[in-house]
Amino acid sequence: MNATNFNNEKPKFEYMEDVSWFMSVTPSTQPPQNKNYLVKKSGGIKKRAFVPTVPKPFKFYTELRANDSRNKENSPKSPFIPLAISVQQFLENPTRFDAKSGKVRSNNLTIPKSPHLRTKYRSKPTTILPTEERKIREMRGYKFKANPLDRKILENRNLGIPKVQKPMPTVPYSPAITKPKPQRPKSPSPPHVIKANPVPDYKEPYRPVIEHRLIELPMFSLPGEEISKKKSQEIEIMIRQEKEKMEKMREFKAQPLPTGSPDCLPTRPYYPPTHPKPFTLLTNDRGEKYQRKFYEKVRKEQEYVKENRFHAQPLPNFEPKIPRKPECPPPTEPIGFFFFTDTRM
């Protein structure tokens, strides 16, 4: 009976072999004289039987990889590969994506190498000097001419400017830190006068004096009282105005009696006659513009009709053309002439 089953196959139990193996095994917890028989045991606490660990040889994958590489090198190369295997290899991941066991090398110190630059061998004309050389050249080219020393400066001590006097050194002194402070003179206190209460009169019973005070409440106002006062004042003003208006309407005012004297009649004012001013209406301007545009439109339509009117061509003349005889020119009349020789002579 195998303990492990990696292929998920149904275990085959051999009854007699298992029973004989179970009979032969004796647990380490029981004494050797006790024997285990095939009987029904109680369902108490069961302890695990002690089974010694069987050591198994271990294998490193490095040896397997080395053996695979040797077998690949020593294996003969077959020239023929079936089509199914080649298709399967094509569909699988390429071998370049597989993990390769490269040789691990220790990191050594980097040995520097010169790039062999040729910049210093190039011929570059230095037309512009650097700033340091240019400043040095300017400093050398600058000539300083000093004036002669004035002897009066050394002979005369003060030349109208007083010398600055140095202040005296500060003399330190210690503050009165440890000295006791002088006590201030105390002002004489007023004499203490003892006021004794009068001796009570025991003949009459004690009657306490009760003062009846009127407590005056402080004036206070609620936030809505001001608003109500304003509204009440406005209502009173409106009522007063309406009363005055009604009283004015009730008063009877009689018209004065007419008098026959003409003095009461007002004088009639005489105004100069009104002279009308010329004016132009916008309707007239619009009418003139409309008439002008209308006549212009009619004129253009007449011209267009006149130009597009049908004009028939004249009928051709089928009679033969007889050329006319040239008329005899009139006889030439001689004109008198004049020679310049006559003038020269």
Q: Is residue 239 very low, low, confident or very high in pLDDT (cuts 50, 70, 90)? A: very high
Mean pLDDT of 252-270: 76
Q: What is the DSSP string of 146-213?
A: PPPPPHHHHH-S-SSSPPPPPPPPP------SSSPPPPPPPPPPPPPPP-PPPPP-SSSPP-------
Mean pLDDT of 20-29: 48
The pLDDT value given to residue 80:
82
What is the rounded distance in angstroms from the CA atom of residue 301 to the CA atom of residue 158?
Answer: 117
The amino acid at residue 256 is P
Q: Report the chain's C-alpha Rg in angstroms.
A: 75
What is the rounded distance in angstroms from the CA atom of residue 250 to the CA atom of residue 243?
Answer: 11
Q: With CA atoms as reference, report the closest residue to 52 among 27, 83, 21.
A: 27
Burial (CB < 10 A; 0-12, 13-18, 19+), residue 50, is exposed
* 92-151 per-position pLDDT tens digit: 877 777 777 666 677 888 999 998 888 878 777 677 888 999 999 998 888 878 888 888
Q: How many CA atoms lie within 13 A of 161 on its CB side?
A: 2
Helices (H), the chain: 15-24, 61-74, 83-91, 131-141, 151-155, 223-250, 282-307, 340-344
Q: With CA atoms as reference, report the closest residue to 2 among 14, 48, 305.
A: 14
> Is the model's pTM score more than 0.85?
no
> Does 313 have pLDDT greater than 80?
yes
Q: Residue 279 CB: number of other CB atoms within 10 A?
A: 6
Q: With CA atoms as reference, report the closest residue to 18 among 40, 1, 36.
A: 1
Q: What is the DSSP string of 244-277?
A: HHHHHHHS--PPPPP-S-GGGSPPPP--PPPPPP
Whats the size of the chain, residue-wise? 345
CB 36, CB 26: distance < 8 Å: yes
Q: With CA atoms as reference, report the closest residue to 101 among 75, 63, 74.
A: 63
What is the rounded distance in angstroms from the CA atom of residue 3 to the CA atom of residue 11?
Answer: 10
Q: With CA atoms as reference, report the closest residue to 286 among 294, 278, 277.
A: 294
What is the rounded distance in angstroms from the CA atom of residue 301 to the CA atom of residue 295?
Answer: 10
Question: Lowest-confidence range among 88-92, 227-231, 324-328?
Answer: 324-328
Q: Is residue 263 very low, low, confident or very high in pLDDT (cuts 50, 70, 90)? A: low
The pLDDT value given to residue 157:
66
CB 20, CB 36: distance < 8 Å: no
3-state SS, residue 117: coil
| pLDDT averaged over every residue in the chain | 78
